[in-house]
Amino acid sequence: MTALRWLLLLCLAAPGVSAAPVEPPPRPNVVIFLADDSGWGDYSLNGNTNLRTPNIDSIGRGGAVLDRFYVCPVCAPTRAEFLTGRYHPRGGVRGVSTGLERLNADEKTIADAFKAAGYATGAFGKWHNGSQWPYHPNARGFDEYHGFTSGHWGEYFDPPLEHNGQPVRGKGFIADDLTSRALDFIERNKARPLFCYVPYNTPHSPWAVPQEDWNRFKDSPVGMRAKAGDPEDLDHTRCALAMVENLDRNVGRVLKRLDELKLADNTIVIYFSDNGPNSWRWNGGMKGRKGSTDEGGVRSTCFIRFPARIQPGTKVHEIAGAIDLLPTITALAGIPRAGDKPLDGMNLANLLLGARRRAWPDRTIFSHQNGNVSARSQQYRLSNSGELFDMAADPGQTTNIAAAKPEVAARFAAAVADWRRDVLGPTTAPAPNAKGKTKGGGLPPDDRPHPVGAGGATFPITPLPARDGLAHGGIRRSAGAPNCSYFVNWKSADDKITWDVEVATAGNYEVAILHTAADAGAIVELSHNRSKLTGKVPAVWNPPLYTNQDTIARPPGESQMKEFRPLNLGTIQLERGRGVLTLRALEIPGASVMDVRQVTLTLTK
């Protein structure tokens, strides 16, 4: 308690003395940085001498380090757990693409809570929990959104993005642009409490970084390497670390501005990542990487700074996870959470503030990916295949002790079985592989349609990217990964592209197709139930693939991008209800119809 407050209390206690009520301290601002595909080992504070991350490290040094912090093996599930404080399958998030990444509309988010408390709320970056309303960030508590809603993006320089649903063009490198937009938001809202979420999309591939960052790494030795036997690609390592140093510079831009605006002391700043590293590189000797439910796939850096309340140098040794951030941040801010669904996460405020810890439970945190489940307590991890590891004595998971500690293994196996029933619900039975180890146990198919017009006049735009559609006949995707792909090889009248949709608002919709066309003159038809619209590909638009986007070659499963332009097809009248939106060709005078990246439907009345 400050000396001033002591003086005021003494005055109030003195007979015959009165004083004006003491105003409560202003509500804290919140700034959250989320890295994409950055491993625990990608930071100098965690011991990596291959790079320097002084600004990110300063968050941990100036506040708290959560020593054992767990996220999901892949991107969208972690985002859902952060947003809701609940395990991701509870909210319908079961994958990273083709609609599996969507967070159910009945889930309330951390942004809903802060918006209801009067905060300005903004998100700037990779959303990855749904593209159409009511999955869009503007429907999930964020007043302002700038970024992309897909799980992967193919253009990192001057990228096509959106601002509150409207297409815009980013300036320069994507992480730099997202940071600039976040800084604008902070500047505009400096006089009121603000909640600023910056989910970066780096160091996720494609392997692209500004030249000034690459120059520091391209010819440099990599002293700290992946574990023996892990197939490390040193150029991938160099590029990933260059991207992390770029993130560090951008985080530094925000921290500096908070200082300049005199907001830093009363701002909660959090930095974490969404999964393990996206390539084999140094990660503290842990087993696994992105996609794995082992320690290296799910342990993340998490630094929390709040100068007004958290002491510098605080270290939280108790296990924690992304599910804990919502209850913790709302508690630190002194606001209620939104919604009444039970949380899986715990409020870590007492641990962060140095309160007594004697009642802290020895909890278990579960990690899930495509039916694979592992369980982590303070001391042990049970792997998806039933192996038990003492993580205190064996953090690299080298020795299975299930036979030596059968009662512990049995207790964990029972906990996993209970968690599967409670959280996953009906699944296909996990099956043993050729080595007798259990793998998988899949979730049932996702039957949710893609909503059209669900935002009404408030949010009239519905994007239907190729990611969410299906190709029929000879049409195929531009690459194996659906995210940021487009449809190619459309040559026959038997070919078609479909989207499973449900029209929420009947009315007239303007139709625009993001396309390229090597030939002109094709007549195409868009239909949904009884509604049809025909139009013509009026001209050739056949730009080359970009050659200026990659620092090193992108993975073969990711699409090479090019400049798509909107083809305004006309207006279609749609009735309410579910149906298949179908795009087909009626006439093909040339060799092909067009390549299609997205169909956009805009409600006009």
Q: Which residue out of 88, 128, 136, 152 is catalytically annotated? A: 128
Render pLDDT for 72-119 as a digit per residue (tens, 0 to 9).
999 999 999 999 999 999 999 999 999 999 999 999 999 999 999 999
Buried b (16+ CB within 10 A) or exposed e, 85-114: bbbbbbbbbbbbbebbbbbbbebbbbbbbb
More confident residue, 345 or 425: 345
Verify whether residue 204 is a known catalytic residue. Answer: no
Q: Tell me the CATH number of domain 450-603, given options 2.70.98.20, 2.60.120.260, 1.10.3720.10, 1.10.260.40.
A: 2.60.120.260
**Domains of the chain, residue spans:** 32-352, 370-439, 450-603
> 507: which 2 tokens?
């009315």
Please state whether the peptide bond connecting residue 206 to the residue before it is cis, i.e. omega within 30 degrees of 0: yes
128 is catalytic: yes
Residue 392 token pair: 């205190």
Fold match, 32-352 / 450-603: no
Residue 444's pLDDT is 78
pLDDT grade, residue 21 (50/70/90)?
A: low
Name the architecture of domain 370-439: 2-Layer Sandwich (3.30)
Confidence label for 355 from pLDDT (cuts 50, 70 and 90)? confident
Please answer whether residues 178 and 125 qualify as being in contact, where contact means their C-beta atoms are separated by less than 8 angstroms.
yes
Q: How far apart are CA 583 and CA 131, in angstroms?
A: 20
> Does pLDDT of 601 surpass 70?
yes
* Tens digit of each residue's pLDDT (9 = 90 or more) over 234-291: 999 999 999 999 999 999 999 999 999 999 999 999 999 999 999 999 999 999 999 9
> Quick check: 109 and 84 in contact, CB under 8 A?
yes
The pTM of this model reads 0.94
CA neighbor of 125 nearest in space, from 62, 193, 34 = 34
Q: Is the pLDDT of residue 521 over 70?
A: yes
424-454 pLDDT per residue, tens: 987 655 554 444 444 445 677 899 999 999 9
As a whole number of angstroms, the distance between CA 130 and CA 118 comes to 25
In this structure, are residues 381 and 374 in contact, taking their beta carbons and an 8 Å threshold? yes
Are the beta carbons of 511 and 570 closer than 8 angstroms? yes
| 32-352 homologous superfamily | Alkaline Phosphatase, subunit A (3.40.720.10)
- Active-site choice (72, 75, 302, 484): 75
Residue 15 has pLDDT above 70, yes or no: no
Residue 18 pLDDT grade (very low, low, confident, very high; cuts 50, 70, 90): very low
In the predicted structure, residue 379 carries a pLDDT above the cut 60: yes
Angle at 287 between CA 286 and CA 289, to 5 degrees: 100
Tell me the CA distances in angstroms from 169 to 118, 156, 215, 534, one per residue in order: 30, 11, 26, 30
Interior angle at CA 523, CA 519 and CA 524, nearest 5: 105
